Amino acid sequence: MSARLNKHYLFQTIIAVIIVLSTSANVFLIIKVFHDYKSINLLRLYPLEQYALKSKPVVDFEKSNLPKIILFGDSRIANWKPVLTLPGYQILNRGISGQTTTQLRMRLHNDVINASPELVILQAGINDLKNIGLFPNHAEEIASNCRMNLKYIIDHISGKDIEVVVLTLFPVGKPSWVRSWFWSEQINDELKLTNDYLKGMGNSKVHIIDADIILKKKEYISPKYEKDMLHLNRFGYEKLNKLLDTYLQKLILE
């Protein structure tokens, strides 16, 4: 009889655990769906997402006499806190996480050109190309639009007699099990083609830095610089700071 009771209580315990786990999972999914629903509608209200810049230092461009360096791009820029030894320069971060080159193109004049910077540092494009995994039938169009937008951005900045330092798209990490559902080798192929395209755009006003040289190990980003598949950790940014500091010292001060 005791053995039967023990089995009965064990069965009840297992059922109770399953119910608790199932309820918790459903609550999590409801919260996630609600969050995503809000995010989608916020994007419809503010497609350029410039509210994200409110947390960054605000400078009155009209009253400030210091020359400006603007960082422009997606989360890889937004997460960057540059440490540069350039005296007498303002460094302004105008990166917004998750943005595509289309969004950057649309806010280019307001957030960059209207500020009349001396120099712009650009890193963008991965948020376009990663969508190839979701929309493989649109792969060619996505990649083409990405490169077209990057050219537009670079041409319009340099056309205003502003120096542009273009970082090629950072290498990505090896896809996790979950990410692999939405990833394809075609993304890696288009990333390389886009970087090759950027490398061909250099001129007296457009300066191309190949990020692969310092961040890549074999076919992926070096593990010591990887926060996650698409982002750098602090060691990666420290490496970029050293590279950029040396590069800008030569470009600006000599």
Q: Annotate 57-90 with DSSP letters as a single string.
A: PP--TTT--S-EEEEEESHHHHT-------TT-E
Query: Which tokens go with 44?
Result: 């419809």
Is the pTM above the cut of 0.95?
Answer: no
For the chain, give the mean pLDDT.
86
Query: Which tokens go with 243?
Result: 């590279």
Higher-pLDDT residue of 27, 119: 119
Q: Which segment of 14-28, 41-55, 72-86 scores lowest on mean pLDDT?
A: 41-55
Higher-pLDDT residue of 63, 96: 96
What pairing do the DSSP bridges indicate for beta strands 68-73 and 119-123? parallel
pLDDT of residue 33: 64
**Band of residue 116 on the pLDDT scale cut at 50, 70, 90:** very high
pLDDT at 51 over 50: yes
3-state SS, residue 121: strand
Closest CA to 229 of 217, 221, 237, 241: 221
- pLDDT (tens digit, 9 = 90+) per residue, 198-227? 999 999 999 999 999 999 998 999 999 999
Start-to-end CA distance of the chain, whole Å, equals 91
Residues 6+ apart with CB under 8 A from 90: 59, 64, 66, 67, 68, 69
